[in-house]
């Protein structure tokens, strides 16, 4: 259901909960256990994941009274220190969740306000995604808004994709990571920041001081003095570094300052001479302290800031790696369970896998975290902006998983592995579980769509690469894929050029990126020159938000209004005029159109332009309305008549019939939630919804399927409420008052100080910005059409109401009439007649299968004399033949019969083309052949590949399939050559 911050309003930049705790105190027992193995040189162990605040060692997990906390923490420090100094002692690990909570607790006890993580989609228009912990506070640092608290601490979710190619190749690169930070807004400065960072590292987490190295800016004598004289770090372990490494700038001008970093030394035995802190084999930087004390002016000079700030960042994954004593960030309990899930699905042992296999598993583990949290924050796959980031990451994971042999359910494996990411999300972002159904649905849809494209594109790319290698060999040049070919893959098959480059590099082929850029520009130029597209382009759309105000929404009170066209966009580019036949995005100063939000789809309707004599001069059909950059409504449609220009007055009219359908379904959704809470469980909560013109969909958290009786009771109760003809009440009130009144809030939604409350008196009260009927009688009737599980612990109900119910019944009545006509029975006799037909069909199929089997056995008898012998000391009978159009099951029976006829030792390889575009293959080996070290499963795979397929099986028997029947003769000839060669070699 829709949420609203003062009727389509904006949420505040920073929201601070009343409590200083970000997470609720969890129970003291472990949440789950994972088998945890690491590579050479590190322990192999069972890793237990614990709730935040619990140190995994033999001390009390209570974190109650302050008087007990110091005792527990001193024990923690002692135990961790022992772990880090005694490799022979029993492992005692700290969970990632524990590290996060202890960091927040540490700074909360020092006067910092715990602020929840901001979304991965930032309010800052200058960046695509939240890339750093300080980003939500940037307006405060820049002086654009006043500080709300003097000190803050966060565990901020972050995304960076600039180094995506390094993911899995290094021990520390990620696309998704958590940045733990403490911030001071004109409060404390260097001394406190440095001393607390040292106390946190050495006392709270027990890192040995002699393993920590410090970097400072080359001219920052103050920081050097604090580290050496106040903290006690020896001169030789404090390194002065230049501007590139240790001076932070927000941009060409503005706030800036030196920074200081803490490094952990994995190999202190290497000494202190000629140390390079950039040596990843020895050091890892895990804590960065930025001292914002200057303002950089236009001329490049620095002037002291009146308000000096502290911005710090501690990498959670990096510290977890250190404390959990694993060789890289991927093998911490934050990521490894995802890798382990993927390994299991690929039937691979991660510890014993080669480096290339580990790389692919790390890509799956890392990228899926980024993908799940991005989709949860509302970023859906697309070809532009943030959506392209998600799509690119998904495609990298799909390709990695497929190359590992991971198979899923119904062709998709991402949702299965993503369930593990969601399971691990409790203390990172609790909203992820609430949105699980939508996340899994998007992943499945995107994966299946990409697999189809991938198979077509991969075939073409494979041919292109073969040609490139062949041409290079002939000419003696470096193999290169032309920019034109790369653009064809991008434009026709949706291949990101980065993916093309990655696949090409694996084959030793480069990609002509200059040529690709030229092709891309040619396409843009052709688009600009296309007939009837735009008359005149305007300035870059980056400045659009500077001139366009938020859209005034009047759609609660009216379905038609006069408005002014403030902006037009075609294919993402701002224009001032659009002519007939073109798709366009229109921004108005006011609108009656509801923009998609809270599960309710956007309105449809028309924009009308009238001339001086009130004659209609242009018509725009609106098919969708979306929100952009807060409360700017984007009307997406097509110019049906005339020309639309910026600045013109239009009559904006919503399709009243479709709006009524949406209103009916939205109010019905509220009634459905109330009925579920009343009849099934008061603990049920919404996990997602869709309010469309033709149906409604409601996802909710519940662990069991609803029975037919329960569904009937829900329907009956809702229809009773409809029949009661109750008038709805809608009002705007303070959020606190709404919650005290009992209004249901959508879990995970962010609300402003003022909210809209929709109430069906005595039945339902929810925070909602959607459109609703004025009286329940307008709904007319409610009918559930399906109930199913969509994820672990999440159910989905689909239903229809009002006019959509009439359509639903009419369609099914028409279908029933057709059935009755075809079956020549009455409606009440259809079920009995269908059951009888199904039984007859089953009997017929069994008879056909028996006949096919007998025919296959007969064919096997006819060709048994075609077997030939291989070997000298041991005569091995071999048969490689085609059985024409025999189906796969019958082919298997024929092979088994031949093996029995030929007797041990024998090898049988058969093929057939059971249908158009289908190939079936089977390999059967007797025990004596298997004892020679020849396995049917491994033998049949390369043969099937020649037919455009694959397969496998056991050492003595394997089946495979393909899509290229025309290649079967060549494949069988290859099988004949290979089996003779292998048997001759093994037998001799």
Residue 228 annotated as binding?
Answer: no
**Whose structure tokens read 């910026």?**
646
User: Which of helix, strand or coil describes residue 971?
Assistant: helix
- The neighbour count for residue 740, using CB atoms within 10 Å, is 10
C-alpha–C-alpha distance, residues 704 and 717, integer Å: 21
CB contact at 8 A, 899 and 876:
no
> 798 to each of 66, 76, 273, 778, 802, how far by Cα in Å?
51, 52, 69, 19, 14
User: Which of helix, strand or coil describes residue 926?
Assistant: coil
- Burial (CB < 10 A; 0-12, 13-18, 19+), residue 20, is middle
> 916 to each of 459, 891, 942, 947, 970, how far by Cα in Å?
20, 17, 22, 13, 18
User: Which of helix, strand or coil describes residue 85?
Assistant: helix
Closest C-alpha among 756, 587, 790, 733 to residue 666 = 756
Query: Which DSSP string corresponds to 237-268?
Result: GEEEE-HHHHEEESSSSEEEEEEEEEEEES-G
CB contact at 8 A, 653 and 559:
yes
Strand (E) or helix (H) holding 690: strand 686-691
Phi, psi of 311 (to 5 degrees): -130, 115
* Pure H helices in 724-828: 735-740, 803-823
CB contact at 8 A, 44 and 35:
no
Residue 480 annotated as binding?
Answer: no
Residue 768 annotated as binding?
Answer: yes
Closest C-alpha among 76, 75, 109, 71 to residue 94 = 76
String of b and e for 508-542 (b: at least 16 CB within 10 Å)? ebebbeebbeebbeeeeeeeeeeeebbeeebeeee
Q: Per DSSP, what are the bridge partners of residue 605?
A: 622, 654
CA angle in degrees (0–180, nearest 5) for 379-380-381: 125
Query: Which DSSP string corresponds to 432-476?
Result: HHHTHHHHHHHHHHHHHHHHHHHHHHHHHHHHHHHHHHHHHHHHT
C-alpha–C-alpha distance, residues 354 and 397, integer Å: 18
CB contact at 8 A, 55 and 94:
yes
Closest C-alpha among 218, 186, 213, 216 to residue 201 = 213
Residue 112 annotated as binding?
Answer: no
Closest C-alpha among 863, 859, 918, 861 to residue 888 = 918
- The neighbour count for residue 946, using CB atoms within 10 Å, is 19
Binding residues: 666, 670, 768, 772
Binding residues for Zn(2+): 666, 670, 768, 772
């Amino acid at each position: 259901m829709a949420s609203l911050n003062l009727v389509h309003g904006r949420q505040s930049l920073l929201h601070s909960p009343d409590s200083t705790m970000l997470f609720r105190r969890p129970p003291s027992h472990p949440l789950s256990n994972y088998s945890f193995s690491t590579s050479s040189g590190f322990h192999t162990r069972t890793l237990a994941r614990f709730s935040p605040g619990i140190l995994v060692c033999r001390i009390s997990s209570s974190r109650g009274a302050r008087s007990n906390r110091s005792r527990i923490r001193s024990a923690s420090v002692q135990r961790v220190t022992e772990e880090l100094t005694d490799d022979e002692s029993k492992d005692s690990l700290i969970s990632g969740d524990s590290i996060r909570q202890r960091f927040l607790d540490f700074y909360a006890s020092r006067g910092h306000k715990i602020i929840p993580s901001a979304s991965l989609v930032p309010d800052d228009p200058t960046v695509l995604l939240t890339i750093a912990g300080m980003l939500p506070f940037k307006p405060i640092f820049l002086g654009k808004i006043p500080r709300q608290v003097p000190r803050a601490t966060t565990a901020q979710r972050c995304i960076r994709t600039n180094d995506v190619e390094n993911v899995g190749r290094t021990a520390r690169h990620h696309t998704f990571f958590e940045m733990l930070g403490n911030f001071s807004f004109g409060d404390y400065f260097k001394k406190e920041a440095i001393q607390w960072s040292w106390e946190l590292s050495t006392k709270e987490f027990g890192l040995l001081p002699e393993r920590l190295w410090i970097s400072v800016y080359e001219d920052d004598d103050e920081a050097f003095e604090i580290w050496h004289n106040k903290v006690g770090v020896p001169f030789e372990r404090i390194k002065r570094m230049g501007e590139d490494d240790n001076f932070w700038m927000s941009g060409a001008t503005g706030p800036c300052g030196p920074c200081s970093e803490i490094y952990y030394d994995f190999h202190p035995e290497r000494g202190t001479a000629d140390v390079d802190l950039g040596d990843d084999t020895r050091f890892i930087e895990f804590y960065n302290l930025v001292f914002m004390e200057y303002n950089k002016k236009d001329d490049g000079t620095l002037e002291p800031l009146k308000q000096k700030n502290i911005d710090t960042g501690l990498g959670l994954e990096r510290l977890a790696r250190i404390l959990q004593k694993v060789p890289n960030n991927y093998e911490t309990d934050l990521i490894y369970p995802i890798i382990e899930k993927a390994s299991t699905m690929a039937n691979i042992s991660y510890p014993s896998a080669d480096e290339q296999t580990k790389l692919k598993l790390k890509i799956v583990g890392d990228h899926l975290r980024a993908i799940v949290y991005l989709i949860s924050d509302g970023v859906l796959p697309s070809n532009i902006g943030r959506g392209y980031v998600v799509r690119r990451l998904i495609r990298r994971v799909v390709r990695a998983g497929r190359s590992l042999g991971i198979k899923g359910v119904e062709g998709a494996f991402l949702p299965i592995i993503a369930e593990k990411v969601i399971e691990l999300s409790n203390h990172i972002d609790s909203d992820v579980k609430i949105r699980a159904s939508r996340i899994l649905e998007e992943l499945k849809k995107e994966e299946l769509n990409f697999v189809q494209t991938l198979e077509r594109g991969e075939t073409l790319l494979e041919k292109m690469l073969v040609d490139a290698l062949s041409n290079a060999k002939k000419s003696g040049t470096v193999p290169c894929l032309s920019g034109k070919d790369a653009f064809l893959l991008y434009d026709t098959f949706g291949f990101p050029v980065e993916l093309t480059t990655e696949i090409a590099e694996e084959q030793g082929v480069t990609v002509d990126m200059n040529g690709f850029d030229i092709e891309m520009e040619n396409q843009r130029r052709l688009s600009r020159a296309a007939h009837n597209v735009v008359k005149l382009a305007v300035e870059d759309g980056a400045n659009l938000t500077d001139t366009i105000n938020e859209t005034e929404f009047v759609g609660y009170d009216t379905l038609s209004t006069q408005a002014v066209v403030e902006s037009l966009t075609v294919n993402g580019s701002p224009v001032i005029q659009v002519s007939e036949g073109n798709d366009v995005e229109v921004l108005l100063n006011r609108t009656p159109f509801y923009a998609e939000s809270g599960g309710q789809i956007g309105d449809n309707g028309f924009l009308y332009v009238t001339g001086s004599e009130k004659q209609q001069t242009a018509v725009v059909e609106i098919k969708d309305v979306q929100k952009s950059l807060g409360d700017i409504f984007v009307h997406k449609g097509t110019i049906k008549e005339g020309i639309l220009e910026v600045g013109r007055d239009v009559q904006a009219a919503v399709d009243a019939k479709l709006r009524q359908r949406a209103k009916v379904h939205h109010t019905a959704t509220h009634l459905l939630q109330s009925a579920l809470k009343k009849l099934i469980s008061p603990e049920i909560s919404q996990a997602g919804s869709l309010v469309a013109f033709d149906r409604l969909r409601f996802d909710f958290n519940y662990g069991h399927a609803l029975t037919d009786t329960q569904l009937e009771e829900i329907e009956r109760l809702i229809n009773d409420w409809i029949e009661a003809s109750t008038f709805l009440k809608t009002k705007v009130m303070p959020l606190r008052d709404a919650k005290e009144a009992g209004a249901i809030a959508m879990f995970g939604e962010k609300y402003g100080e003022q909210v809209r409350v929709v109430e069906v008196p005595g039945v339902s009260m929810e925070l909602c910005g959607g459109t609703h009927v004025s009286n329940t009688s307008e709904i007319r009737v409610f009918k559930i059409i399906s109930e199913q599980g969509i994820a672990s612990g999440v159910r989905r109900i689909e239903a229809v109401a009002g006019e959509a119910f009439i359509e639903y019944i009419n369609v099914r009545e028409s279908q029933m009439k057709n059935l009755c006509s075809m079956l020549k029975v009455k409606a009440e006799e259809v079920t009995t007649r269908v059951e009888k037909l199904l039984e007859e069909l089953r009997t017929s199929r069994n008879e056909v299968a028996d006949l096919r089997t007998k025919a296959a056995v007969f064919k096997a008898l006819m060709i048994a004399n075609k077997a030939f012998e291989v070997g000298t000391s041991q005569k091995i009978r071999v048969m490689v033949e085609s059985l024409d159009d025999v189906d796969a099951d019958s082919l298997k029976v024929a092979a088994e019969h031949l093996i029995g006829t030929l007797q041990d030792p024998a090898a049988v390889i058969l093929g057939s083309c059971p249908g158009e575009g289908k190939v079936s293959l089977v390999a059967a080996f007797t025990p004596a052949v298997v004892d020679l070290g020849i396995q049917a499963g491994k033998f049949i795979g390369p043969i099937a590949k020649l037919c455009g397929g694959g397969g496998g099986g056991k050492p003595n028997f394997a089946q495979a399939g393909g899509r290229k029947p025309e290649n079967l003769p060549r494949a069988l000839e290859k099988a004949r050559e290979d089996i003779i060669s292998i048997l001759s070699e093994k037998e001799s």
